[in-house]
Structure 1
Amino acid sequence: MSTSLDDVPPSGSVTIPAQRGRWIEDWRPEDTTFWSGGGATVARRNLIFSIVSEHIGFSIWSLWSVLVLFLGPEYHIDAAGKFLLTTVPTLVGAVLRLPYTFAVARFGGRNWTIFSASVLLVPTVLAAIVLKPGVSYSTLIIVAAVAGVGGGNFASSMTNINAYFPERLKGRALGLNAGGGNIGVAAVQLVGLLVLATAGKGHPRVVLAIYIPLIVLAALGSYLFMDNLTSARNDKRAMRDVCRDGYTWIMSVLYIGTFGSFIGFGFAFGQVLQVQFKSDFSTPIKAAYLTFLGPLLGSLVRPVGGAMADRVGGAKVTFWNFVAMAVSAALVLIASLEKSLALFLAGFIALFVFSGVGNGSSYKMIPAIFRAKSKLLIADGADATISDREARRLAGALIGIAGAIGAFGGVLVNLAFRQSFLTYKTGNGAYIAFIAYYAICFALTWYTFLRPSPKKLAGI
């Protein structure tokens, strides 16, 4: 199978006029002549700068997972307080994903990307102003909350890129877009490690100074090289209609377990290491050496989950993936009880990897569900064209809803850690909760999609 985003040989060129404000009125990606004659080039250009903006957005969203490593005793913040600082941007980002989904149709993909990239300057500059010993905890909470704007970029970016590519290439393009964004979590943690190793823990503003020009370049690139599509229109009724479908809430529960775990662990891992193994990670830099590794691996394997789902079925991959996540969480719990750092790290890295695989496989299940329902309707006599269009409409809406609800899983992960350390002085309570949730997820996956039943949807 070709890995190119242009799978049609050139057959001449076509003119794609951009109107005032970089609006493209004639966009026909399913037309192979149009696509090979210039459409693919325009789509790839927009994809590149969408990835850049989303990548920076993820970095700013997870910024406080790095900044808390710089908050030494002089800030007078305990472990529970630091977990709350990483929880509030997760919550705000999750809430913003729904309005960001609709913003592309209202303002245009290029215009909204310029805005959403530029607004990342606000939490970055605010953090640079207030981050010093003596600052009040409430001020830090407010500034951390503002960093949640970076979490919304994923929703608008995915909605925008979805409109550019033909059906046969959407999975590949959206996978690149999502994976490139997810790596932003690992990237900001790697930047934090470099700053800790060179400037020291007394200079968190260096991290912010690195990202401020990157944000400006992302906004400038969007301004110069991206386009708006007049055809990119959200169907607001699709959100209403899909909320009435039981599969929406099943997939949202599953995505909380996959993406919620990924983003929640990405925000919390450094703090967990420092609190759980104080003697081994007595300084922030020792924890920072490991914190970026999990999110990096989880981001890189996301396309693998999608590819495995294509081959053997999304439900089967997702089921066994949740089994593996439950086993990995059990290893983490055993390591915590036995105080085994090596086993603890192995279990946690496995959790990151399997959460990445699950992100890919569960997202692949969404269009498969509605394609299967469409086939049933067609078999009963429904019009094939209308049924297929309805399947795409509802699948797109569910992708937006699941992405937003899944992000709330990151909030739950951080709250679980905070409560566990407050109550038990360890993360053991949280690990037990994770095992239980993953068990619910693999049981739900089996019952809904895999158990022998005449009502089971085929091909999920």
Structure 2
Amino acid sequence: MTETPTIAAVREAAPAPRRRGRWIDHWEPEDERFWESTGKSVARRNLVFSILAENIAFSVWTLWSISAALLVAHYGFGFSAAQMFFLVAVPNFVGAVLRIPYTFAVPKFGGRNWTLVSGLLLLIPTVLLAVAVDNPGTPYWAFLLIAATAGFGGGNFASSMTNISFFYPDRRKGLALGLNAAGGNIGVALIQLGLPLLVGAGGLFGLVGASAAGVDLARAGWVWALLGLVAAVCAWLFMDNLSVSLAKFSEQIKVVRYRHTWVMSWLYIGTFGSFIGYSSAFPLLIQLQFPEVTASSYAFLGALVGSVARPFGGWLSDRLGGSRVTLWNFAAMAAGTVVVIVAVNVEVWPLFLGAFLIVFVTTGIGNGSTFRMIPMIFQKRALRMAPDGDREAALARGRTEAAAVIGLSSAVGAFGGFVMVATFGVLGLLNDGRVPASAIATAFMIFLAFYVTCAALTWWNYARRGSALAAVDI
């Protein structure tokens, strides 16, 4: 009678074969021996180049957060405040929509292959920007369409996070996803700090003055087009596809039927939606509320502190539990928003900047904690529903469903960013195109009410004693 080999023996015998095109067919990150001998180094290499690609993509996505103000200040385009907010908002909307197909692209084509494609797509918005700004007759609707193509950079996040979630074991997902996301988020700070310096608009707290030769915004388009090409080449040369990430669309889309998918998406609107919405609007808010302050000198600070805080949120959640961190973080976010409202009403710049930076920090921590919760929730759910105690099949299903939820919730969160920026634009339309302090305060009061609902949902579903997942370390 032939003895059936154990799963562990099969794993040891299989040296991780590859198919053509940098495919890895054997991947067992939960196996400690495999992880230490092979998995860790491969995962780290893919994470590094995923961060690079996502960083460049985020920069392109938020290119218009700083470019819109420069068009008016240095190119003479007579756009109203409301028009500028919509110019900044539309990439968020398109990026949110694209995150849905980008989520399912990795299980269809492979993570390395799609990172290559998504990098090449960044050439479209950057080259179009470079061409359009050199034509003084470019109409507003054309700029609106060009800004919409920057949404390609927003879609990249969903595929990147979905991809990296397969490389790391559950015990390391919080920090890995936090680093991957933070590396991308920092792209917002880099574009808001680097673009004004690159194009000759000055910045860096006033230490660098504007160029005597004038502002050349087209230069930024060409530079980030080159960087998009670099991201694509690096993906081609250094990243891998995982066979375990492949899944049928029908296996992934069923997560839309789960209540936790939409609860976590709502929470992610509060964290990531706030981060990308505030990052996009911050330069214009400074320019409108405090015209004596050079917006390009300070705008990057918000995205920077929010990005740096993100891996800390994941790390903290790995130790304290994501639901606990998320709950207290929403409380802190609400408190910070109250101070922002006060600062807007009294028009005190240091108070406004300090309170806003605190809110940015909470967006980063919340981004890390919510994304740590998702894999834990769906792994535990899959184990509870496993037929006949088939643990390995349940864990595999949990990873696939968690990856799909990560992508879908990132899409919903990005849409929240669009809504936040558009709120300022709509309130501007109600004030003849202007966005006065009263309208800004009204917007933040709406956001404050939303954060209260996020805290309540977190407590009811995940932190409340007696809730279905209260005993689960999520």
Deviation sequence 1:215-237 (CA, Å, 0-9, x none)? 22222212222223333213423
SS at match of 2:57: helix
User: Does 1:315 pair with 2:323?
Assistant: yes
Asked if structure 1 preserves the Cα contact closer than 8 Å seen for 2:61 and 2:91, the reply is yes
SS at match of 1:77: coil
Distance 1:189 1:223 in 2: 28
For 1:411, the aligned partner's letter is F
- Whether the 8 Å CA contact 1:90–1:151 is kept in 2: the answer is yes
Quote the residue 2:283 is aligned against: 270
For residues 253-402 of structure 1, the aligned pairs below 5 Å read 253-278=266-291, 280-281=292-293, 286-374=294-382, 376-377=384-385, 382-402=389-409
- Given residue 129 of structure 1, which amino acid in structure 2 is its aligned partner? V
Q: 1:301 to 1:437 in 2, by over 3 A?
A: same
Q: Is the 8 A contact 1:294 1:352 kept in 2?
A: yes
Instruction: Say which of 135, 153, 158 aligns to 1:155.
Output: 158
The 1:333–1:103 alpha-carbon spacing in structure 2 relative to 1, beyond 3 Å, is: same
CA drift of 1:337 comes to 1.1
- Cα 1:31/1:314, change in 2 over 3 Å: closer
In 2, Cα distance between the equivalents of 1:33 and 1:385? 17
Deviation at 1:47, TM superposition (A): 1.9
Give the conservation status (yes or no) of the 8 Å contact 1:329–1:435: yes
2:327/2:459 contact within 8 Å kept: yes
Tell me which amino acid in the other structure corresponds to 1:420: L
Q: Distance in 1 between matches of 2:132 and 2:64?
A: 13
- Equivalent residue number for residue 104 of structure 1: 106
Aligned pair 1:116/2:114, yes or no? no
Distance in structure 2 (CA, Å) of the matches to 1:34 and 1:316:
32
CA distance in 1, matches of 2:13, 2:45: 17
CA shift for structure 1 position 309: 2.0
For the 8 Å contact 2:111–2:241, the answer to whether it is kept is yes
2:77 aligned partner, one-letter code = Y
Paired position in structure 2 for 1:446: 459
Deviation at 1:375, TM superposition (A): 6.0
Q: Deviations over 1:137-186 (max 9, x none)?
A: 01100100011000111111122222333344333322221111111111
Q: Report the secondary structure of 2:430's partner residue.
A: helix
Equivalent residue of 2:215, what SS?
coil
Aligned counterparts of 2:241 and 2:142: Cα–Cα separation in 1 = 38
Change (3 A) 1:277 1:454: closer
Give the CA deviation at 1:454. 5.9
1:450, distance to aligned residue in structure 2 (A): 2.7
Q: For 1:34-71, what per-residue CA distance to the aligned partner results, in whole angstroms no more than 9, with x for missing partners?
A: 44444433332222211111110011001001211211
CA contact (8 A) 1:14 1:34 kept: no
1:141 aligned residue (140, 144, 155)? 144
- Supply the distance in 1 between the matched residues of 2:326 and 2:91 (Cα, whole angstroms): 28
Q: 1:227 and 1:384 mapped to 2: Cα distance?
A: 27
SS of the residue 1:72 aligns to: helix
Note the C-alpha offset of 1:93: 0.6
2:180 counterpart of 1:191: no
Indicate yes or no: 2:423 matched with 1:421.
Answer: no
Does structure 1 conserve the Cα–Cα contact (< 8 Å) formed by 2:178 and 2:313? Answer: no
2:240 paired residue number: 227
Matched, 1:249 2:262: yes
Q: Which runs of 4+ in 1 moved over 6 A?
A: none
Identity among equivalent positions (%) equals 45
User: Which residue in 2 is equivalent to 1:69?
Assistant: 69
| Structure 1: runs of 5 or more not aligned | 1-11
Give the superposition deviation at 1:83: 0.5
Output the CA distance in 2 between the equivalents of 1:337 and 1:320: 26
Residues 172-187 of structure 1 mapped to structure 2, 5 A cutoff: 172-187=175-190
Report the AA paired with residue 96 of structure 1.
L
Say which SS state the counterpart of residue 79 (structure 2) adopts.
coil
- 1:120–1:341 distance in 2 versus 1, CA, 3 Å: same
The answer to whether the 8 Å contact 2:460/2:467 transfers is no
1:7 aligned partner: none
- Match of 1:71, SS state, is helix
User: What residue in structure 2 maps to residue 403 of structure 1?
Assistant: 410
User: Is the CA contact 2:313–2:367 (under 8 Å) kept in the aligned structure 1?
Assistant: yes
Question: How far, CA to CA, are the matches of 2:384 and 2:235 in structure 1?
Answer: 42
Q: Distance in 2 between matches of 1:306 and 1:165?
A: 14
Q: Is the 8 A contact 1:372 1:458 kept in 2?
A: no
- What is the match of residue 22 of structure 2? 22
Matched-pair contact (CA < 8 Å) for 2:252–2:400: no
Deviations 1:84-119 (A, max 9, x none): 111111011111111111212322222221111111
Q: Within 2, Cα distance between the matches of 1:111 and 1:453?
A: 45
CA distance in 2, matches of 1:144, 1:340: 32
| DSSP-derived class of the 1:75 partner | coil
Instruction: Report the TM-score, using the length of structure 1 for normalisation.
Output: 0.89
Within the candidate set 163, 168, 171, 2:174 is matched to 171
1:189-245 deviation per Cα after TM superposition (whole angstroms, max 9, x unaligned): 111232321547622122223323222222221222222333321342343332222
Give, in whole Å, the separation in 1 of the partners of 2:392 and 2:357. 45
Amino acid at match of 1:360: G
Determine helix, strand or coil for the equivalent of 2:244: coil
Deviates more, 1:196-205 or 1:412-421: 196-205
CA contact (8 A) 1:13 1:37 kept: no
Any unmatched runs of 5+ in structure 2? 1-11, 203-209
Q: Does 1:458 align with 2:461?
A: no
Deviates more, 1:155-164 or 1:332-341: 155-164
Q: 1:210 to 1:35 in 2, by over 3 A?
A: same
Alpha-carbon distance in structure 1 between the residues aligned to 2:394 and 2:23: 30
Q: Corresponding residue for 1:9? A: none
CA drift of 1:370 comes to 3.0
The aligned counterpart of 2:97 is: 95
The 2-side partners of 1:252 and 1:164 are apart by: 23
Secondary structure, aligned partner of 1:364: helix
